[in-house]
Chains A and B, each alone.
Chain A
Amino acid sequence: MAVESFREMLKIDEDLTVKACSVAMKAHRSSDQLIQVENFSGSSSSEAVIFSFPGSGSEKDWFSDASFGAKSAKGSVFSEYLRSLGTDEAAFLNEAFLQKFEYIRKQLQDKVEEAVKGNKKIVFTGHSLGGPVAVLATIWFLQEYVKPQNAKPPFCVTFGSPLVGNHILSHALEREKWSGYFIHFVMRYDVVPRILLAPLSSIQQQFNQILNFFKLKSMSAGYESSEITNDASNFFTSVMRNASTIASHVACNLMGSTNLLLETITNFIQLSPYRPFGTYVFCTENGKLVTLKNSNAVLQLLFYSCQLSNETELQTVAYKSLRDHFAYESELKENLLGMQDVVSIDPLEKIGVADERINQALDDLGVSTAARLCLLASGESEKQKRKNQDKIDSKKPEIDKILKELESYRDASKDHKVGYYDAFKLQKSQNDFKANVKRLELAGIWDEIIEMLKRYELPDQFEGEKEWLEIGTRYRRIVEPLDIANYYRHLKNDDTGPYKIKGRPRRYRYTQRWREHEERMEAGSSEESCFLAEVEELRTRTVNGIIPSSDIMTRVQKLLGQVEEWSHHNVIGKDVFLEESTFVKWWKSLPPHLRSPYINAQVLSV
């Protein structure tokens, strides 16, 4: 493995990093100022503006409830990006951190605008509780400025920051390819990055004393206290025990546990939802820096690097776990500028190969065989995800071939005046039957993909891949009408309910959400592939002399408007306007005032 410098590895200058650390510590000390802004012009020509946030707070700044204080990002400013696309699961974020960010957002926005106008590089940084605010500010900046306006990508550098969100946060940042902008420094024994692995109820007794110690320590670096020893030990023990529970739980799953006992027990214990993301830089006690990116592996290391060799160490290590929280500035000045070694333990599969540097780095972090097995398992699990994707990627030509066949089926059906939807519904000719087989062949391939996505068995980037988005959209538009035809042919709406609510397969829901996300469309607005399902539903309610309710009329009008728009954008085929098609037959049965000239023109033109 080539030896790289810190700068090469993380794409950020050492002196900027050290400067960020100083600014972060300064912000921590002057907690009356919500945002600190400093300009930086370092040795290299690049200029930057550093934003930092104060780091102290009380219990309620950590936990919004007695458990883990996490809340869904749904409905927050982060709801668009911080979710898993297909499953539409929102990330969970620490509620107190989110509130704090919301509190400063307006003020931040004004200052950020200024920096963006100056075309300066922006660095968000924070120590301790300042870290999460820096993280959320960075995500906010990425979604508001980088994505739509192409602003320069920011950096986020945190020091001893608590965790911020759950696995979906990590997943979403990976998908958007934003993870690389986050760098988190963690001292080997610093307890703060581990705190949110424990529920408040388990540490509440000591938490105020600990926070008080932090406060005094931040005001005077030389502050020491022997009174805290007992509380420190109990606090450290509780945090570590909970860290052990969640690390073991994650490790079991990474190792491919087949024993469902794990699941049964999980119903009765509290497991922290929080997971790391971005690049972690662990500082060993002997001045080395070890970097690691894999979220699961970082979680393991957060626990294992803090394990004791024996119980007699407890008091010393527990006190150290508090003191080290304030050691970042001196540590970095000494080691980062001193051009000390930086060792990366990615890719993790290499961890088993006898690489002296990596072995030494792990020894320096004091991790055991058990820990190494867990790291290896994290790597293997990632490797398996890539293998899964290779397997799926290899099916692209097959999907493409079948789609082409179905496209020519669609085109051929035009000659019969009814379009392929109605032809398929009637199943009269052999081509209709063949199309049905093809529909099911594709369903097999797509269901496998969807199943893997549901279980997070594909790489995080998968749902962000252009090529899959395109093939997914194409698939959805050509094949979903066949699924709808099949559904209404077998009258499944009678005993199951409307297609869109009860019958729509995930393979279409997921692919629709991919497109809506990519194009930043409103949820549900790319439903063109299942508009015939709505026609089928409305058809039975507007014919036979029944006077439709106003509710139905609203739906009719909405649908007609959408059809015009989709037709205008060419996302639905011309075949729906064929004389004998279900849609046209229904449309003709509507009262004249609902029949727009646009659709009339379409019908006449085909």
Chain B
Amino acid sequence: MTVFSNGSETANLVASSGLLQQLWTANWNLYGNNDPNERLRFQVYSQENYNILAFVTSPLTLQADQADLASLSTLKEKFPVFELLCSKNNPTFAINKATILLFASYHNILSELKNELCKGPPYKPLIITGHSLGGSIASLFTLWMLNSMDLSKTKRPLCITFGSPLIGDHCLHKAIFQSQTWKSCFLHVVTNQDPVPRILLHHKPAHQKGVYKPFGTFLICCESGSACFEDPDSILELLAATASHGAQSQNPYQAMPSVDYGPVVENLYHRTFCKGATELVDWAKQPFEVGIIRQLQAIGVAQPQQQNIDIINLIKREKQLVSKTKLFDPSKKLNDMKIYMVYLEWYKKLSKNDKTGYYDSYKEKKGTCEFNVEVFKKELTNYWKDMVKEAENKPQKEGASFRIRWLGAGTNYRRMVESLDIAEYYKENKLNYETQGRSHHYIRLEAWLKEWEELLKEENNSGGKQNNSKKESVASILTIDSCFWAKVEEAIILCNLLKTEKFGAEEKVKKLKDFESYVWGLLTNYEVSSEIFLTGSSFMKWWKDWKAYKKTLGSSFTSPLDDFMESREYVDYDGGNWSPPIYTRPF
């Protein structure tokens, strides 16, 4: 398929939409509001369909080491909020010191503002804007908002900054880049005349490693036109290359000039219905390359004499970016996964007919099955491991909504397949699956289900499914606790130990009694598959052992499960006709 580069179309869209003028005016007006003592000024402008929140700072000079990056870990106490940005695979990041200090000193006021803006419904969409260091504050505030908003209910905010210095390190970039939605909220406008966005470009802090790395989309503009880039390395290269004389390499500790973006955006606005200055002849053979070169021409860096831009590499990177961001869509494979689950379901059914149950069939590799269960198990496991990883890579808030969507299918998978993993584990005579052998993705899937159920409970206090229908369908369900069989195996081991060694018997008996009441609990809620009562099942083996042991202890050990097992009530349970007896004395 032919690939195109649409940077200049994006730039055109932004320029002709009139948004930039509107936002710049909001910033500019704020400079007129006097209170020179206030280092940070902001205001909400209410528009018909959305609000604009603008930030500017009073004229500023960086002090001491304020051009450096401050790692989040050193700031943790003041900013628990930004921890939310971190994901498991990207635990920390660093932010420019001056920015974070300024943000910190206004933390309480900004927090109030945020709460005010997040209030709803109805939610009014929000554009956050800022100039210079005010732009950096706008970016941080936007990240904060993104964490607090429920993006399924409200439109995501848009952050457009003018001449903002670079803000964070590569970890911050990565944290934002991993979320398609988050990175789509930032547009940074930079003119070739402005030194401020470039002061931290080559800044090497004295005692720290790490350099600045941009995030979001950059709209780089000059007299002759504008261009949009997203790849951070391309942006760094172009920020340097487009700098006009005087904007090139200002010392970060000089007073920051205040560049007026009014004429810049006005010029862009006017250019939209004029043709570009340069025309290419050989345009159709490599549309992507031509698209990039057109953009470089527009910002005046495509001339052959331009030595500081590696055009070939830049094109390569941009192309990679396009292919990399082909959206991850797990739904495509979901139908395949459903098919694999049907195979396993069939396997389960066949094993039930063998009077063994699929857990023990798999463990003993008994029974004949025309297909290879392991292949399906492996495919499913790989798929769900990837899904869990994907969810963990996202910032917490967004990861949550991703998880909810796939949780149903994931839970089904866990309840079906984890038993097979347990079977393999205990077949190798290992111990303590739950604490030592359990795969990470099962733990996450289970934790997410718990979170989700908590949430549901808070929302509507409903007790879940009607017991009646649970009762009828109990023969075909998957046991709710996917670690059920691990608990059975441990109980069998305990029984065996009781036979051979007398030491610590009391504790073992207590554990076994706990297990027994755990099973009873599952039964009364119809949460365990009736398969466990098949003659060849490990559970029945345990029961035989345990019953025998209990006999040696005398009759004081009767339990509801005894009655249930002795009078073969599990036949009714399997048939969907069993109701738990009502006991007057507590068990």
A444 to B269: give the CA distance in the assembly, Å.
47
Name the contact of B184 in the complex, choosing from A263, A352, A427 (C-beta under 8 A): A263
B9 pairs with A251, CB closer than 8 A: yes
B4 pairs with A377, CB closer than 8 A: yes
Q: What chain A residues lie within 8 Å of B180 (beta carbons)?
A: 260
Q: What chain B residues lie within 8 Å of A237 (beta carbons)?
A: 273
Q: Most chain-B CB neighbours within 10 Å: which of A237, A245, A249, A261? A: A261
Within 8 A of B (CB), among A158-209: none
A256 pairs with B13, CB closer than 8 A: no
B158 pairs with A267, CB closer than 8 A: yes
A259 pairs with B285, CB closer than 8 A: no
- Which of the four size classes fits the interface of chain B? 35 or more
**B336 interface residue per 8 A CB criterion:** yes
Given A311-B270, A368-B276, A440-B342, A261 and B187 contact (CB-CB distance below 8 Å): yes
Within 8 A of A (CB), among B463-479: 464-466, 469, 473, 476
What is the distance, in angstroms, from A541's C-beta to the closest C-beta of chain B?
Answer: 15
A256 pairs with B184, CB closer than 8 A: no
**B17 interface residue per 8 A CB criterion:** yes
A353 pairs with B269, CB closer than 8 A: no
A241 to B18: give the CA distance in the assembly, Å.
9
Q: By DSSP majority rule, is chain A's interface helix, strand, loop, or mixed?
A: helix
Q: What chain A residues lie within 8 Å of B342 (beta carbons)?
A: 433, 436-437, 440
A260 pairs with B322, CB closer than 8 A: no
Q: What chain A residues lie within 8 Å of B326 (beta carbons)?
A: 258
A269 pairs with B19, CB closer than 8 A: yes
**B368 interface residue per 8 A CB criterion:** no
A262 pairs with B230, CB closer than 8 A: no
Q: What chain B residues lie within 8 Å of A251 (beta carbons)?
A: 6, 9
**A372 interface residue per 8 A CB criterion:** yes
A436 to B275: give the CA distance in the assembly, Å.
59
Given A369-B280, A373-B283, A373-B290, A249 and B13 contact (CB-CB distance below 8 Å): yes
A443 to B285: give the CA distance in the assembly, Å.
40
A242 to B158: give the CA distance in the assembly, Å.
21
A256 pairs with B3, CB closer than 8 A: yes
**B287 interface residue per 8 A CB criterion:** yes
A245 to B279: give the CA distance in the assembly, Å.
22
A264 pairs with B349, CB closer than 8 A: no
Name the contact of B336 in the complex, choosing from A245, A262, A268, A444 (C-beta under 8 A): A444
A369 pairs with B335, CB closer than 8 A: no
**A307 interface residue per 8 A CB criterion:** yes
**A495 interface residue per 8 A CB criterion:** yes
Q: Most chain-B CB neighbours within 10 Å: which of A241, A370, A376? A: A370
Q: Mark A483-514, 1 if CB is under 8 A from B, else 0.
A: 00000011100110000000000000000000
Given A261-B187, A437-B343, A491-B473, A248 and B3 contact (CB-CB distance below 8 Å): no
Q: Mark A373-416, 1 if CB is under 8 A from B, else 0.
A: 11011001000100000000000000000000000000000000
Q: What chain B residues lie within 8 Å of A261 (beta carbons)?
A: 10, 183-187, 216-217
A440 pairs with B50, CB closer than 8 A: no
**A327 interface residue per 8 A CB criterion:** no
A261 to B215: give the CA distance in the assembly, Å.
12
A490 to B284: give the CA distance in the assembly, Å.
56
B274 pairs with A311, CB closer than 8 A: yes
Q: What chain B residues lie within 8 Å of A369 (beta carbons)?
A: 276, 279-280, 283, 290, 294
Closest chain B residue, CB of each to CB of A310: B274
A269 to B14: give the CA distance in the assembly, Å.
9
A255 pairs with B4, CB closer than 8 A: yes
What is the distance, in angstroms, from B544's C-beta to the closest C-beta of chain A?
Answer: 30
A427 pairs with B273, CB closer than 8 A: no
A376 pairs with B16, CB closer than 8 A: no
B9 pairs with A374, CB closer than 8 A: yes
**B181 interface residue per 8 A CB criterion:** yes
What is the distance, in angstroms, from A299's C-beta to the closest C-beta of chain B?
Answer: 13
B465 pairs with A437, CB closer than 8 A: no
**A252 interface residue per 8 A CB criterion:** yes
Closest chain B residue, CB of each to CB of A317: B273
Closest chain A residue, CB of each to CB of B326: A258
Closest chain B residue, CB of each to CB of A354: B284
What is the distance, in angstroms, from A300's C-beta to the closest C-beta of chain B?
Answer: 10
A369 to B295: give the CA distance in the assembly, Å.
12
B10 pairs with A248, CB closer than 8 A: yes
A373 to B321: give the CA distance in the assembly, Å.
20
**A25 interface residue per 8 A CB criterion:** no
A252 pairs with B13, CB closer than 8 A: yes
A443 pairs with B4, CB closer than 8 A: no
Within 8 A of A (CB), among B486-504: none
What is the distance, in angstroms, from A77's C-beta to the closest C-beta of chain B?
Answer: 32
A240 pairs with B184, CB closer than 8 A: no
A377 to B2: give the CA distance in the assembly, Å.
8
Closest chain A residue, CB of each to CB of B159: A264
A491 pairs with B13, CB closer than 8 A: no
Name the contact of B17 in the complex, choosing from A240, A263, A265 (C-beta under 8 A): A265
**A606 interface residue per 8 A CB criterion:** no
**B373 interface residue per 8 A CB criterion:** no
Closest chain B residue, CB of each to CB of A258: B325
Closest chain B residue, CB of each to CB of A368: B275
Closest chain A residue, CB of each to CB of B280: A369
**A291 interface residue per 8 A CB criterion:** no
Q: What chain B residues lie within 8 Å of A380 (beta carbons)?
A: 1-2, 4
Given A241-B18, A351-B284, A262 and B10 contact (CB-CB distance below 8 Å): yes
Given A268-B125, A353-B284, A440-B342, A258 and B327 contact (CB-CB distance below 8 Å): yes
What is the distance, in angstroms, from B148's C-beta to the closest C-beta of chain A?
Answer: 17
B125 pairs with A259, CB closer than 8 A: no
A427 to B338: give the CA distance in the assembly, Å.
16
**A360 interface residue per 8 A CB criterion:** no
Q: Most chain-B CB neighbours within 10 Å: which of A260, A353, A372? A: A260
Q: What chain B residues lie within 8 Å of A518 (beta carbons)?
A: none
**B272 interface residue per 8 A CB criterion:** yes
Q: What chain B residues lie within 8 Å of A308 (beta carbons)?
A: 273-275
Given A259-B10, A372-B284, A444-B336, A267 and B184 contact (CB-CB distance below 8 Å): no
Q: What chain A residues lie within 8 Å of B476 (beta carbons)?
A: 489-490
A380 to B332: give the CA distance in the assembly, Å.
24
What is the distance, in angstroms, from A174's C-beta to the closest C-beta of chain B?
Answer: 22
A2 to B18: give the CA distance in the assembly, Å.
45
Q: What chain B residues lie within 8 Å of A249 (beta carbons)?
A: 9, 13
Q: What chain A residues lie within 8 Å of B285 (beta carbons)?
A: 352
B339 pairs with A437, CB closer than 8 A: yes
**B163 interface residue per 8 A CB criterion:** no
A415 to B345: give the CA distance in the assembly, Å.
25
A489 to B345: give the CA distance in the assembly, Å.
13
Q: Most chain-A CB neighbours within 10 Å: which of B6, B325, B326? A: B6
Given A252-B10, A256-B3, A369-B279, A240 and B273 contact (CB-CB distance below 8 Å): yes
Q: What chain A residues lie within 8 Å of B291 (beta carbons)?
A: 255, 373
A433 to B365: give the CA distance in the assembly, Å.
21
A372 pairs with B10, CB closer than 8 A: no
Given A252-B6, A433-B346, A376 and B287 contact (CB-CB distance below 8 Å): yes
What is the distance, in angstroms, from B227's C-beta to the closest C-beta of chain A?
Answer: 12
Query: Could you list 16 examples of A-B contacts with CB < 8 Å?
Result: A241-B18, A245-B16, A255-B9, A260-B184, A261-B216, A264-B158, A269-B18, A310-B274, A352-B284, A352-B285, A370-B8, A373-B4, A377-B2, A377-B287, A433-B346, A490-B476
The 4 closest A-B pairs by CB, nearest first: A352-B284, A260-B184, A255-B4, A444-B335
B residues in contact (CB < 8 Å) with A = 1-6, 8-10, 12-14, 16-19, 49-50, 125, 127, 155-156, 158, 180-181, 183-187, 216-217, 230, 269-270, 272-276, 279-280, 283-285, 287, 290-291, 294, 321-322, 325-327, 332, 335-336, 338-339, 342-343, 345-346, 349, 464-466, 469, 473, 476
A residues in contact (CB < 8 Å) with B = 237, 240-245, 248-249, 251-252, 254-265, 267-269, 306-311, 351-353, 368-370, 372-374, 376-377, 380, 384, 427, 430, 433, 436-437, 440-441, 443-444, 447-448, 489-491, 494-495
Known: A258-B326, A262-B13. 11 other contacts (CB 8 A): A241-B18, A255-B6, A269-B17, A369-B279, A369-B294, A373-B283, A380-B4, A384-B1, A433-B345, A440-B338, A494-B466
